[in-house]
Amino acid sequence: MMVGFGKYELPPLPYSYNALEPYIIEEIMRLHHTKHHNSYVMGANTALEKLEKHLRGEAQVDVRAVLRDFSFNYGGHIMHSIFWPNMAPPGKGGGKPGGRLEDFINKNFGSFDNFKNLFSQAAKTVEGVGWAVLAYDPITGDLKLLQVEKHNLLMTAGMVPLLVIDVWEHAYYLQYKNDRASYVDNWWNVVNWSDVEARLEKALNLAKPLIFPLAP
């Protein structure tokens, strides 16, 4: 019986390891990408290999435990794969969004500054480790702000992440120590709005509102 899920691979960074300095130093970027992100790629692949063996009758696995591992590691792989291109070197990154993204942000949050403040608050107050996420919601056809713990907990069904910030300590501790707030404030200087805008356009092309569009 042919069964299988394929393999995930660590995507290369779209810039050099020192490209985000002075806001995120090279040492953080190198470790974060080659060690942390890579461990999630390997963890997701290991979970899938266990499921494949289970399907082929070669091994009995604890399906509950394996799926829990998969959710965490694949969640980590997805989030980091969006986080890297969500950033760009200072000068190219930073500033404000345009296009339909700007319209959506204004409609849902009132203004860019309102959005930025709320997103920053979400990032600064994640309990333990996790992410703040701006997502497109194809169920209702609008934007949602999410606060995700670990890589996967509190993630709401169906969300398409557009902009994510990693607030695990490994994302900032070597440079900012325990001052997560300064890391979050500085991070806005390297946000790659053209990438975020492109993700929204792709999400809009993918899906008309699926279940219950909100009234205007």
Q: Which residues contact Mn ion (rule: CB under 5 A)?
A: 36, 166, 168
Nearer to Mn ion, 136 or 172 (CB): 172
Nearer to Mn ion, 15 or 168 (CB): 168
Q: Which tokens sit at 72?
A: 């965490």
Min separation Cβ 130 and Mn ion, Å: 10
Which residue's Cβ has the minimum distance to Mn ion? Answer: 166
Cβ neighbours around 162 below 10 Å, total: 24
For 88, 101, 166, the CA distances from 84, given in Å and listed in that order, are: 8, 19, 10
Nearer to Mn ion, 166 or 195 (CB): 166
β-bridge mates for residue 93, sequence order:
90
The helix (run of H) or strand (run of E) holding residue 202 is helix 193-206
For 22, 103, 184, 188, the CA distances from 125, given in Å and listed in that order, are: 24, 27, 11, 17
Min separation Cβ 74 and Mn ion, Å: 14
Min separation Cβ 80 and Mn ion, Å: 6
Min separation Cβ 11 and Mn ion, Å: 14
Nearer to Mn ion, 144 or 151 (CB): 151
